[in-house]
Each structure stands twice: as C-alpha cells, then as structure tokens.
Amino acid sequence: MALRGFTKSFARGLSYFPAVRTRWLKGIACLIPENALAICNLLIVGHIVNGVTAENAADRMTFEQVLVWTGVFVASMLASSALKFGMRWYITGASREFERIYRRDLFAHFMSLSPQDVAHIRTGDVMSRAVADIEAVRMLLGPSVMYVARAALLVPAVLVIMFMKDPIVASAMLVPFIGLALVVKVAAKPTQHWSTESAERLAELSTVAQESFSGIRVVKAFATEGIAGNDFKRMGQAFLHANVKLATLRGMTSATILTMKEVGVLIVLGIGGWRLVQGQLQLGDFLVFKECLDIALWPLIAIGWMLGLYTRARTGAERLDELFDLRPSVMEAGDALAPEHVTGDLEVRGLSFAWNDTPVLEDVSFHVPAGSTLGITGRTGCGKSTLVQLLSRQVEPPAGTVLLDGHDIRALSFDHLRRTMGVVPQDTFLFSETIRENIAFAGDHIGADDVETVAAIAQVDKDITDFPDGYEQLLGERGVTLSGGQRQRTAIARTLAADPPVLVLDDCLSAVDSVTERAILGGLRQRLQGRTAIIVSHRVAALSLADRIVVLDEGRVVEQGTHDELVAHGGLYADIEERQRIEEEIEAL
C-alpha cells in the first residue's frame, strides 16, 4: 500500500532516475566503503589504546607498532574523507541534475500550454511550486537517500560491535539508542506539520507580494497600500508563527537528543567504568563505546529529519503533478503540414465558438483572398479579439472552420503557422530587455537595419531615439517604462520585423492619436503590398486600408462590403461611422 502510494506520488520523479543513475550509483559505491572505513577507524583507535595500556608487558604495543597503527589510522582517515567527498559529490550532484531536468520539463510543459489553459493559475503559486516543491522532492530523492543509507549501514554495525565488546554495557547502551529513536519519532509529526505550514505561508506571502508589486499602479491609484500592507502583515505573522513553532520544536528536539547522548556518556562512564575496574573491559573498548554513540547519533537524527521531509516532498510532488496534469488545449497534429509555398489566402467557414458555454461567435464566415486587406469592426465585446485568437489558433477553432491556403489550420505545424501569420494582440506584452531585443524578438535573423525600418513604419522610431540609450534602452518589467501608445507601436514593430506573409492587427491602435494612426496606416500601406492583412478595430477610421470590411454584432456577421457600400447601405456600419466622425469633428474644434 505504502509503496504504491510512494510510486504514485513520485512517479514523475522516479522516471527521471535513469538519467542520474550512473552518478547516483557511483555515490553509493563510495558510501559503502566509506562506512566500512568509519567502523575500521573506530576499531583501530580502540586497538591502539588497548595496546598501549595492556597490563602484561607481553601484550603491550611497542613504539614501532604504535607508529605503524597510527599510520594505518591516518591512511584510513584520508581514504574515508576522500570517499565521503565522492559520496556527497555524486549523490548531491545527481540530485541537482535531477532538479534541473524536473524544472526544465516543467518549463517546457508550461510553454506548451495556451494562455487560457493557465488563466486560473497565479504566478506566485507557480513560482513557489517550481522552486520550493522541486527542492523538496530533490532533498528526498537526493541527500536523504544518502543519510538513510548511512543509517541503515552504520547503526546495525555499531550495535554488533558493542555487543561483541561487552554485552552488559551494550544492553545498557540500548537505553540512549532507543531514547534517541523515540525522540526522533515523536518530533517527526509536529516538525513535518510546521514545516509544511511554513512552506505554505511562504507561498502565500510571495503571491501577495508579487501581485501587489505587479499591480502597484492600481494599489496606488486606489490608495489601498494600507489594505495590501495589512494583508502582508497578517501573512507575515502567520509565517513567523509557523517558523517560531518550528524553531521551538527543533530546539527541543536537539536539546533532548544531546541529553540522550550525555546519558549514553554516563552509561559508558558508569557501567563501562565498573566493567573496566572489574577487568571485563579494556580502556580502548571503553573509548569504542563512546565513539559508537557519536557515529550512530547523526544517522538517527537524519532519519527523523527524513520522516519530516517525506510528507513535504510528497505534497510537493503532488502539487507539481497538478501542474503537469494541465493539458494543452491546442496541440500540433501528429503529421503536421508545413507547405513550402504560401499565398496567404484565408477563409473562415461557419465558425461558432463559446467561452465556457457562453456563445461568443455564431456562424461567422468570410474570405480574405491572398494579398487583400480585410477590416473587421463592431462594438467592444462583440467577439473581435476572440475571432483573432481563433484564426491564429491561439485558441482552438472547431475543425474545418479556419483555412489557410485551403488547409485547415489545425493540420498545419505550429512553426509554419507562426511564421506565416503574425498577430499584434490587443494586450501587448513587452519583456524587460532592451527595446531592440523586444522588436527583434522573432529571431536572430532580424538585423539592426530591419529593426529601425519597422520602428519607422510603426512610428515609434522618434520616441526611441529620444530615449537616453536609444534602441539599447532597457524596458521595465512588462514595458512599464513606456506609455500605452509606445507599447502598442513597439508591438506593431515587433510583428512587422518577423515579416509574416499574413498580418493580423487586433485593435492595436487604440492608444494612439489619430494623426499618428494615419501615419502608421500610411506606412503599412506599402508594407502590406502583396500581403494578406486583417485589421481589427472598433474605430472605423482605422479601416481605411481595407479592401472589404466585415461588421460583427453580438458574434454574428451583420454586414459585409467595401467602406462605400456599407456607408450607402445605412446599417450598423453607417451608424458607427457617423457617430465616430461627429466625435472626431467635435474633438477637432
């Protein structure tokens, strides 16, 4: 039962074992002789002391013999130190390698997921799992293996030695040994409870810190520093409480352990001394008993520590499995296509879509012939961004509803699709790197000239050259050091730099004034020559480049045609157009 629970919880961890097996086995190969030498050293010291203090002259060691045995002792010490080093090097190394593979796979797994797959997960929580939980599993499968193996080898060995030396003293020594084991056992449960508690409080604390920090603008805007501060204070208290409990327990445990050890010393002195005076025990053996206690002490404590660690690691492994269990909702087809020739003909056929059972799009169909520009407009919330995510396959469209050059996009390889279709999303995200690196994000093949050309088309070049470091300006996290409009224009430049045959712009001029908007559209006109483009905007003026326009309302295509046709038709488009034109005229006054 217990074993099945273990293999189930640690299935993933165990599957990494083959990768670190060689290193791990080398560690164990050092561990066994190292323990044997530890026992030898103990016996050699006893032997020397027995030799020099022997009562009858015939048994007494000569000076040369003492020298030889001391030499043996030193050699054995050196060898055991070297082996101890090897053991730690290999076993800790194996556990670090294990940790690296685990974390690498977790990262790769996350990269395979789509935004909506992880929408319900908090960054702070993922961070704490990726750091603390992996560390807990590593500790269990690495260092604790080492300590348990040591304990399993050393404790029986010293018990055998003690009983061979003197069964009476050895029996009395069982008292501190059993006492130690009991202390360790009793302390294990509360220690494990409070260390889990401490880890959870820390995760909570980091989540709040991370969110308050990322959302600092909102916190400031609503003057809720006090509330955030109070939450933080309360969680800090809880974390402190768990840690104080833990420290108290650890302090009490180690004090009791030391007392047990002193009891052991007392027994060696009392009962051992009595046996010594009786002539049943030699002085060297007296020393051996004391050493046996020292040697066995550590592994016993380590077993207790491991018992505490076990539950922590198990919870950690299960928490990590929860992340690994997230299935990507968009997956590459097994025999994904990557057609060599791309014309850029895009068709949407009878596309309906619902977000968690709330219908957003219904029976949407349109055709964008290769090289033409389609405008999509409609009121906010009518489903434009959802449509963009579907036709670029950031969200999975139903089979056969989105076709690129006649192929269902679900049959195309990710690489092909991403290279063919460039999307400027409505919400831009910039990395905290230089602005040049942000624009050249799509690949190393983008040169300095390309970056400057696309920055000029996106009308962000003047802003950039005005920065103290120009193109080498480092951006703050998520690009916070830029204005909303600058961020949008940088994002446009980034997509243009990738030079995709099909370009999709999702309401990405919303934070740009109308003069700049016109300049960007002017630059795009040239760039779009021979390319397929979809320009999505809730503002009609941004659609001047479009050959045809699709008007969405409540998820349905309500009108389709050229700008002039739609205005003449006098429907929703004409309405929106008129209202926005009047708004602009009023603004211009």
Ligand X SMILES: Nc1ncnc2c1ncn2[C@@H]1O[C@H](COP(=O)(O)OP(=O)(O)O)[C@@H](O)[C@H]1O
CB of 558 to ligand X, least distance (A): 13
Q: Is residue 388 within 8 Å of residue 504, measured between CB atoms? A: yes
List the beta bridge partners of residue 534.
374, 504
With 0-12 / 13-18 / 19 or more C-beta atoms within 10 angstroms meaning exposed / middle / buried, residue 220 is exposed
Instruction: State the minimum distance, in angstroms, from the CB of residue 544 to ligand X.
Output: 20
Cα–Cα distance measured from residue 448 to residue 275, given in angstroms and rounded to the nearest whole number: 88
> Residue 385, interface with ligand X (CB under 6 A)?
yes
- The listed partner (ligand X, Mg ion, none) that binds 201, CB under 5 to 8 Å by sort, is none
The string of DSSP codes covering 378-415 is -STTSSHHHHHHHHTTSSPPPTTSEEETTEEGGGB-HH
Q: 474 phi and psi, to 5 degrees?
A: -80, 135
Binding mask 80-119 for ligand X (x = CB under 6 A): ------------------------------------x---
Residue 426 interacts with Mg ion (CB under 5 A): yes or no: yes
Segment interacting with ligand X, rule: CB under 6 A, options 23-31, 207-215, 220-228, 379-387: 379-387
Number of residues in contact with Mg ion under rule CB under 5 A: 4
Beta carbon of residue 535, minimum distance to ligand X (angstroms, whole number)? 13
CA 241 from chain center: how many Å? 27
Output DSSP code: residue 129: I
| Of 140-148, 346-354, 374-382, 509-517: span binding ligand X (CB under 6 A) | 374-382
Is 207 among the residues that bind ligand X (CB under 6 A)? Answer: no
- Round to whole Å and give the CA distance between 518 and 392: 26
In the complex, least distance from residue 429 CB atom to ligand X, rounded to whole angstroms = 15
The stretch among 137-145, 154-162, 384-392, 432-440 that binds ligand X (CB under 6 A) is: 384-392
Please say which residue, 173 or 557, places its beta carbon nearer to Mg ion: 557
Query: Is the CB of 228 or the CB of 390 nearer to ligand X?
Result: 390
Measuring CA to CA, which residue among 582, 585, 507 is closest to residue 539? 507
Chosen from ligand X, Mg ion, none, partner binding at 381 (C-beta under 5 to 8 Å by type) = ligand X
Residue 383 lies near ligand X (rule: CB under 6 A)? yes
Q: Which is nearer to Mg ion, 243 or 426 (CB)?
A: 426
Contact positions with Mg ion (CB under 5 A) in 502-561:
507
- Residue whose CB is less far from ligand X, 117 or 321: 117
Residue 394 found at the interface with Mg ion (CB under 5 A): no
Of 164-172, 266-274, 287-295, 383-391, the window that binds ligand X (rule: CB under 6 A) is 383-391
Nearest residue to Mg ion by CB is 385
In the bound state with Mg ion, the residue whose beta carbon lies nearer, of 282 and 537, is 537
For ligand X, give the closer residue by CB, 178 or 354: 354
Residue with smaller CB distance to Mg ion, 319 or 384: 384
Q: Which of 380, 449, 564, 589 binds ligand X (CB under 6 A)?
A: 380
Residues 187, 210: contact at Cβ < 8 Å? Answer: no
Q: What is the nearest approach in angstroms of ligand X to the Cβ of residue 384?
A: 3
Residue 4 φ/ψ, nearest 5 degrees: -65, -40
How big is the CA angle at 107 (ends 22 and 200), to the nearest 5 degrees? Answer: 95
Determine contact, residues 364/557, Cβ cutoff 8 Å.
Answer: yes
**Taking the alpha carbons of 215, 217, 223, 229 in that order, is the dihedral positive or negative?**
positive
Query: Hey, what are 215's tokens?
Result: 């959302």
Q: Which is nearer to ligand X, 316 or 378 (CB)?
A: 378
For residue 532, what is the enclosing H or E element?
Answer: strand 532-536
Report if residue 256 touches ligand X, rule: CB under 6 A: no
Secondary-structure breakdown of the chain: helix, strand, coil percentages, each rounded to the nearest 5 = 65, 10, 25
Stretch that binds ligand X, among 47-55, 237-245, 373-381, 581-589 (CB under 6 A): 373-381
Please state the closest distance from residue 467 (CB atom) to Mg ion, in A: 29
Report d(CA 131, CA 427) in Å as an integer: 29
> Is-contact 295 38, C-beta < 8 A?
yes
Count of beta carbons in the 10 Å neighbourhood of residue 433:
13
Q: Which residues, numbered 115-134, are part of the site for ligand X (CB under 6 A)?
A: 116
Structure tokens at 286: 């007296």
Residue 482 found at the interface with ligand X (CB under 6 A): no
Residue among 229, 9, 290, 47 nearest 136 (CA)? 9
Residues 384, 536 contacting (CB under 8 angstroms): yes
Q: Smaller CB distance to ligand X: residue 355 or 429? A: 355
Instruction: Lay out the sheet containing 346-355: strands in order across.
Output: 358-368, 346-355, 402-404, 407-408
Q: Closest distance between ligand X and the C-beta of residue 491, in Å?
A: 16
Binding residues for ligand X, total number by CB under 6 A: 12
Which stretch of DSSP H or E encloses residue 548? Answer: strand 548-553
Smaller CB separation from ligand X, 243 or 426: 426
CA dist 193 → 198, 526, 561 (Å)? 9, 66, 67
CA-wise closest residue to 289 among 152, 148, 147, 168: 168
Contact call for residue 382 and ligand X (CB under 6 A): yes
488 contributes a contact to Mg ion by CB under 5 A: no
Compute the distance between CA of residue 494 and CA of residue 497 in angstroms, rounded to an integer.
5
Q: Assess 385 for contact with Mg ion (CB under 5 A).
A: yes
Among 384, 393, 416, 419, binds ligand X (CB under 6 A): 384
User: Which among 465, 474, 528, 469 is positioned nearest to 496, based on CA atoms?
Assistant: 528
Query: Is 270 near ligand X (CB under 6 A)?
Result: no
- Interacting residues with ligand X between 302 and 361 (CB under 6 A): 355-356, 360
Q: Which residues contact 93 (CB under 8 A, 6 or more apart)?
A: 23, 27
Looking at 71, 359, 381, 522, which residue binds ligand X (CB under 6 A)?
Answer: 381
Q: How far is the CB of 579 from Mg ion (least distance, A)?
A: 19
Nearest approach, Cβ of residue 381 and Mg ion (Å): 8
Which of Mg ion, ligand X, none does residue 116 bind to, with CB < 5 to 8 Å depending on kind? Answer: ligand X
Place of tokens 């084991």: 181
| Of 50, 386, 428, 537, the one binding ligand X by CB under 6 A | 386
Residues that bind ligand X (CB under 6 A): 116, 355-356, 360, 378, 380-386
Residues that bind Mg ion (CB under 5 A): 384-385, 426, 507
